[in-house]
Amino acid sequence: MGLTRGALALAAVTIAAPAAGCRARSDAPDAGPVVAPISDDAGRPSRLLYPAAPSSFVELVRDARKAVVSIHATTPVKSGPAAMFPGAPPTSSDAALGTGFLVEAAGTHVLTNDHVIADVVDLRIELVDGSEYPARIVGRDARLDLAMLSVEMPRLPTLRLADSDEIEVGEWVVALGNPFGDEVTASAGIVSATGRDAPGSLVTGTALGFRTYVQVDARIHRGNSGGPVLSTAGEVIGIAVATGDRPGEISFVIPANRVRDALPQLKQYGRVQRSWAGLWGAPVTRDLATQLGLAKVAGAVVTKTEPGSPAERAGIRAGDVVQSWNDRPVDHRNLPSLIANAPAGKPAKLTLWRDRAAVDVNLVPEPMPE
């Protein structure tokens, strides 16, 4: 049908200059002089307000593109990125699988989506300069849609994972893809939702529902699924996940902190075993803290517990505020990860705020149900 690898021009995006008054990181390119500091609702210093966000992402893309790779199978597969072009049959065969990017994790590794490399054994990566290297699967986590590959080649360029809990709605991001190996594509947008305030994330038996993904309005299609989504500082805020190729669909990003949590187990065991507690948590608001007699706005309030769950057996009930996990301070953001990464079967000490007093309970996490 005349479609070639170069036809990826379909994914090219013209990036207009962002409007004035948008927030940007202090090391963003072309950021203007500081206008005024701003504070969050609690009066804490927050990001600085700039008169304009970057007028161009050229330098950011140029720096990052060397670490964005195309992942290929040794033999053609069906329904790869080639099938995303208009008029292409859904069973188009191509050796290209999708995008990944290089990270440093005590060795050079490639991160991508699990669905990109699923059911493919022999893999190789291709850099933007055309060089190719064999890659082997180190670990897979279908629940998070994350895969880790190892590349036996030193001194390859890598990208750094950001602290995704620090991103804010309205920040500019750039999604990079390299589905075919001949050119890195870019699309820009803003963070539409951070996902970090979604209730119950990771603690009820579901590792990552769509409400706990970062949502962006940058275009993410089948070709750049598995690729990095970058902040204006050039750090990876998460991994792109393609949900479809129809224009206007919401784009989702696996948060970098969830990826970072999974890497040690992927590397050591080839899989991720998460724990669960069977409780639902929500943020503690200022009004709730006053109502419950808390000294400060902190912790995670329990909204419900699952019948027969570790939380119920530990005596935790709705209305309790979890203040610490094994003496580590807790809030609604870090509690899901603390539970998910806790060793199953090993008791954890939780400090709860109940009836205007601190109460300690022991909770024994269980393996997260499949």
Catalytic positions: 115, 145, 225
306-332: burial string, b at 16+ Cβ within 10 Å, e else: beebbbbbbebeeebbbbbbeeeebbb
At 180 the three-state DSSP class reads coil
- Whether the CB-CB separation of 286 and 318 falls below 8 Å is answered with no
With a CB cutoff of 8 Å and minimum separation 6, the contacts of 165 are 196, 255, 257, 333
Cα angle: 273, vertex 279, 282; to 5 degrees: 115
Read off the DSSP letter of residue 247.
T
| Residue 203 dihedral angles phi and psi, to the nearest 5° | -100, -10
Q: Which residue has the tokens 């995006």?
A: 13
At 3 the three-state DSSP class reads coil
Q: What is the DSSP string of 263-303?
A: HHHHHHHSS---EE--EEEEEPPHHHHHHHT-SSS-BEEEE
Distances (CA, A) of 271 to 62, 138, 219, 226, 322: 33, 9, 30, 18, 29
Q: Which residue has the tokens 């750049």?
A: 224
Q: CA 339, 343, 345, 351 torsion: positive or negative? A: negative
- Dihedral, CA atoms, 82, 85, 87, 89, nearest 10 degrees? 30
At 261 the three-state DSSP class reads helix
Q: What is the DSSP string of 142-164?
A: TTTTEEEEEE--TT---B-B--G
Rounded Cα gap, residues 206 and 290, in angstroms: 32
